[in-house]
Structure 1
Amino acid sequence: MKNLTPMMKQYMDIKKNYEDAIVLFRLGDFYEAFFEDAEIISKILNIVLTKRQNAPMAGIPHHALDNYLKKLVDSGYKVAICEQMEDPSQAKGIVRREVTRVITPGTLIEEDLLSSENNYLMAVAFRENFNTVFVDVSTGELFVKDFEAINDLIDFVSIVNISQIICEENIFDELKDNLPNKFIEKLDDWYFEGFEDKVKETFEIVSLDHFELSNEQLRVLGALLKYLEYTLMSNLALEEPKKLEESKWMILDSKTVDNLSLIPGEKGKNLYDILNKTKTAMGSRLLKKWILQPLKVKKDIIERQEIVDAFFNDRLLLNEIREYLNGIFDVERILTRLQYGKVSPKDLISLKNTLYIIPNILDALKTNEKFSKYIQEIEEFPEVVELLERALYDDPSSTVGDGNVIKDGYSPELDDYRNLLFHSEDKLKEFEKEERERTNIQKLKVGFNQVFGYYIEVPKGQVKNVPDYYIRKQTLVNSERYITQKLKEFEEKIMSAREKVEILEKALFDELTKMILKYVNDIKKTAEKIAELDVLSTFAYVSQLYGYVKPEFDDEKFIVKEARHAVVERYVSNFVPNDIYMDSLRRMYIITGPNMSGKSTYIRQVGLIAVMAQIGCFVPAKSAKLPIFDRIFTRMGARDDISTGKSTFLVEMSEVALILSKATKDSLVLLDEVGRGTSTFDGISIAWAMSEYIYNEIKCKTIFATHFTELTELSDVYKGIKNLTIEVEETNDGIVFLHKVVDGVADRSYGIEVAKIAGVPDGVVERAKEILEVITKKSELEKKVRVLKEGQLRQIKSRKKAVEGQLTIFEVNNSEF
Structure 2
Amino acid sequence: MEGDAAGAGGGDRSSIVIGLIENRAKEVGVAAFDLRSASLHLSQYIETSCSYHNTKTLLHFYDPMVAIVPPNKTAADGMVGVSELVGKHLPTNKKITMARGCFDDTKGAVMVKNLSARDPSALGLDTYCKQYYLCLAAASATIKWIESERGVTFNGSFDHMNIDSTRTRLLRANLLQPLKDIQTINTRLDCLDELMSNEELFFGLTQGLRKFPKESDKVLCHFCFKPKKDTDEVLKPANGRKSQGLISDIIVLKTALDAIPFLSKVLRGAKSFLLRNIYQTICENPKYASMRKRIGDVIDEDVVHSRAPFVTCTQQCFAIKAGIDGLLDVARRSFCDTSEAIHNLANKYREDFKLPNLKIPYNNRLGFYFIVPQKDITERLPNKFIQVVRHGKNVHCSSLELASLNARNKSAAVECFLRTELCLEGLINEIREDIGILTLLAEVLCLLDMLVNSFAFTISTKPVDRYTRPEFTDDGPMAINAGRHPILESLHNDFVPNNLFLSEASNMVLVMGPNMSGKSTYLQQICLIVILAQIGCYVPAQFASLRVVDRVFTRIGTGDNVENNSSTFMTEMKETAFIMQNVSSKYYGSLIVVDELGRATSSSDGLAIAWSCCEYLLSTKAYTVFATHMESLSELATIYPNVKILHFEVDLRNDRLDFKFRLKDGVRKVPHYGLLLAKVAGLPSSVIDTAASITSRITEQEMVRKDDNCEQYRSLQMAYQVTQRLICLKQSNQGDDYIREALQNLKDGYAAGRLT
TM over 0.5, shorter chain: yes
CA positional deviation for 1:184: 3.6
State whether residues 312 and 541 of structure 1, in contact with CA within 8 Å, keep that contact through their aligned partners in structure 2. Answer: no
Match for 2:207: what amino acid?
E
Deviation string, structure 1 residues 684-718 (Cα, Å, up to 9, x no partner): 111111112211x2132211110100001111112
State whether residues 32 and 41 of structure 2, in contact with CA within 8 Å, keep that contact through their aligned partners in structure 1. Answer: yes
- Could you tell which deviates more after superposition, 714-723 or 320-329? 320-329
CA positional deviation for 1:559: 1.4
> Does the alignment pair 1:585 with 2:505?
yes
State whether residues 482 and 499 of structure 2, in contact with CA within 8 Å, keep that contact through their aligned partners in structure 1. Answer: yes
CA positional deviation for 1:624: 1.1
In structure 2, the CA distance between the partners of 1:501 and 1:664, relative to structure 1 (3 Å rule), is closer
Q: Which residue of 1 aligns with 2:248?
A: 346
**What is the RMSD computed on CA atoms of the aligned residues?**
3.9
Q: Which residue of 2 aligns with 1:542?
A: 458
Select which of 541, 544, 547 maps to 1:624: 544
Q: Which residue of 1 aligns with 2:493?
A: 573
Q: Write the distance in 1 (CA, Å) between the matches of 2:299 and 2:269.
A: 29
State whether residues 167 and 186 of structure 1, in contact with CA within 8 Å, keep that contact through their aligned partners in structure 2. Answer: yes
Q: Write the distance in 2 (CA, Å) between the matches of 1:159 and 1:198.
A: 23
In structure 2, the CA distance between the partners of 1:182 and 1:599, relative to structure 1 (3 Å rule), is farther
In structure 2, the CA distance between the partners of 1:786 and 1:684, relative to structure 1 (3 Å rule), is farther
Match for 1:349: what amino acid?
I
Q: Write the distance in 2 (CA, Å) between the matches of 1:584 and 1:791.
A: 28
Q: Which residue of 2 aligns with 1:774?
A: 693
Q: 1:663-812 counterparts in 2 under 5 A?
A: 663-664=583-584, 666-695=589-618, 697-732=619-654, 734-748=656-670, 750-754=673-677, 760-761=681-682, 764=683, 766=685, 769-778=688-697, 788-790=705-707
Select which of 324, 331, 355 maps to 2:216: 331
Match for 1:187: what amino acid?
T
Q: Which residue of 1 aligns with 2:444?
A: 529
In structure 2, the CA distance between the partners of 1:799 and 1:687, relative to structure 1 (3 Å rule), is farther
CA positional deviation for 1:181: 4.2
State whether residues 408 and 415 of structure 1, in contact with CA within 8 Å, keep that contact through their aligned partners in structure 2. Answer: no
State whether residues 727 and 740 of structure 1, in contact with CA within 8 Å, keep that contact through their aligned partners in structure 2. Answer: yes
State whether residues 647 and 665 of structure 2, in contact with CA within 8 Å, keep that contact through their aligned partners in structure 1. Answer: yes
In structure 2, the CA distance between the partners of 1:232 and 1:507, relative to structure 1 (3 Å rule), is same
Match of 1:566, SS?
coil
Deviation string, structure 1 residues 632-661 (Cα, Å, up to 9, x no partner): 111112222211111222221222222222
Q: Which residue of 2 aligns with 1:417?
A: 330
State whether residues 593 and 625 of structure 2, in contact with CA within 8 Å, keep that contact through their aligned partners in structure 1. Answer: yes
Q: 1:379-390 counterparts in 2 under 5 A?
A: 379=283, 380-381=288-289, 382-383=292-293, 386-387=296-297, 389-390=299-300
Unaligned stretches of 5+ in structure 2? Answer: 74-81, 227-241, 340-410, 721-756
CA positional deviation for 1:393: 4.2
Match for 2:441: what amino acid?
T
Match for 2:576: what amino acid?
V
> Does the alignment pair 1:109 with 2:29?
no
CA positional deviation for 1:358: 1.6
CA positional deviation for 1:526: 1.3
- Could you tell which deviates more after superposition, 128-137 or 186-195? 186-195
State whether residues 549 and 618 of structure 1, in contact with CA within 8 Å, keep that contact through their aligned partners in structure 2. Answer: yes
Q: Which residue of 2 aligns with 1:441?
A: none
Q: Write the distance in 2 (CA, Å) between the matches of 1:752 and 1:592.
A: 17
In structure 2, the CA distance between the partners of 1:650 and 1:792, relative to structure 1 (3 Å rule), is farther
> Does the alignment pair 1:120 with 2:33?
no
Deviation string, structure 1 residues 17-71 (Cα, Å, up to 9, x no partner): xxxxxxxxxxxxxxxxxxxxxxxxxxxxxxxxxxxxxxxxxxxxxxxxxxxxxxx
Q: Write the distance in 1 (CA, Å) between the matches of 2:331 and 2:625.
A: 74
> Does the alignment pair 1:374 with 2:278?
yes
Q: 1:98-247 counterparts in 2 under 5 A?
A: 101=4, 108-110=7-9, 112-114=10-12, 119-128=15-24, 129-149=27-47, 150-171=52-73, 174-181=84-91, 184-189=94-99, 192=102, 196-197=106-107, 199-200=109-110, 203-204=113-114, 209-210=125-126, 212-214=128-130, 215-236=133-154, 239=161
CA positional deviation for 1:224: 1.3
CA positional deviation for 1:412: 5.5
Q: Write the distance in 1 (CA, Å) between the matches of 2:440 and 2:151.
A: 26
- Could you tell which deviates more after superposition, 124-133 or 342-351? 342-351
Q: Write the distance in 2 (CA, Å) between the matches of 1:229 and 1:693.
A: 51
Deviation string, structure 1 residues 260-309 (Cα, Å, up to 9, x no partner): xxxxxxxxxxxxxxxxxxxxx95452111111111111111111111111
In structure 2, the CA distance between the partners of 1:704 and 1:190, relative to structure 1 (3 Å rule), is closer
In structure 2, the CA distance between the partners of 1:509 and 1:391, relative to structure 1 (3 Å rule), is farther
Match of 2:300, SS?
helix
Q: Which structure has the bigger radius of gyration? A: 1
Match of 1:318, SS?
helix
CA positional deviation for 1:197: 4.3
Match for 1:221: what amino acid?
A
Aligned length: 587
State whether residues 130 and 148 of structure 1, in contact with CA within 8 Å, keep that contact through their aligned partners in structure 2. Answer: yes
Match of 1:584, SS?
coil
Q: Write the distance in 2 (CA, Å) between the matches of 1:658 and 1:340.
A: 43
CA positional deviation for 1:227: 0.8
Q: Write the distance in 1 (CA, Å) between the matches of 2:208 and 2:636.
A: 57
TM-score, normalised to structure 2, is: 0.69
Match of 1:311, SS?
helix
Q: Write the distance in 2 (CA, Å) between the matches of 1:600 and 1:741.
A: 13
Q: Write the distance in 2 (CA, Å) between the matches of 1:194 and 1:664.
A: 32
State whether residues 597 and 739 of structure 1, in contact with CA within 8 Å, keep that contact through their aligned partners in structure 2. Answer: yes
Q: Write the distance in 1 (CA, Å) between the matches of 2:528 and 2:337.
A: 68
Higher helix content, 1 or 2: 2
Deviation string, structure 1 residues 343-389 (Cα, Å, up to 9, x no partner): 43333322222221121112101122222111012144332562464
State whether residues 345 and 400 of structure 1, in contact with CA within 8 Å, keep that contact through their aligned partners in structure 2. Answer: no
In structure 2, the CA distance between the partners of 1:211 and 1:508, relative to structure 1 (3 Å rule), is farther
Q: Which residue of 2 aligns with 1:6?
A: none
Match for 1:727: what amino acid?
E
Deviation string, structure 1 residues 82-140 (Cα, Å, up to 9, x no partner): xxxxxxxxxxxxxxxxx96598xxxx421x2346xx84321112222222222222223
State whether residues 20 and 138 of structure 2, in contact with CA within 8 Å, keep that contact through their aligned partners in structure 1. Answer: yes
Q: Write the distance in 2 (CA, Å) between the matches of 1:774 and 1:190.
A: 68
Match of 1:369, SS?
coil
In structure 2, the CA distance between the partners of 1:401 and 1:425, relative to structure 1 (3 Å rule), is closer
Q: Write the distance in 1 (CA, Å) between the matches of 2:705 and 2:610.
A: 14
Match for 1:320: what amino acid?
G
Q: Write the distance in 2 (CA, Å) between the matches of 1:189 and 1:165.
A: 14
Match of 2:72, SS?
helix
Q: Write the distance in 2 (CA, Å) between the matches of 1:403 and 1:527.
A: 23
In structure 2, the CA distance between the partners of 1:769 and 1:376, relative to structure 1 (3 Å rule), is same
Match of 2:178, SS?
coil
User: Larger relative contact order (C-alpha < 8 A, sep ≥ 6)?
Assistant: 2
In structure 2, the CA distance between the partners of 1:588 and 1:421, relative to structure 1 (3 Å rule), is closer
Match of 1:729, SS?
strand
State whether residues 638 and 713 of structure 2, in contact with CA within 8 Å, keep that contact through their aligned partners in structure 1. Answer: no
CA positional deviation for 1:400: 8.7
CA positional deviation for 1:313: 1.1
TM-score, normalised to structure 1, is: 0.65
> Does the alignment pair 1:293 with 2:208?
no
In structure 2, the CA distance between the partners of 1:311 and 1:765, relative to structure 1 (3 Å rule), is farther
Match of 2:136, SS?
helix
Q: Write the distance in 2 (CA, Å) between the matches of 1:570 and 1:308.
A: 21
CA positional deviation for 1:209: 4.6
In structure 2, the CA distance between the partners of 1:178 and 1:230, relative to structure 1 (3 Å rule), is same
Unaligned stretches of 5+ in structure 1? Answer: 1-98, 243-280, 427-495, 804-817
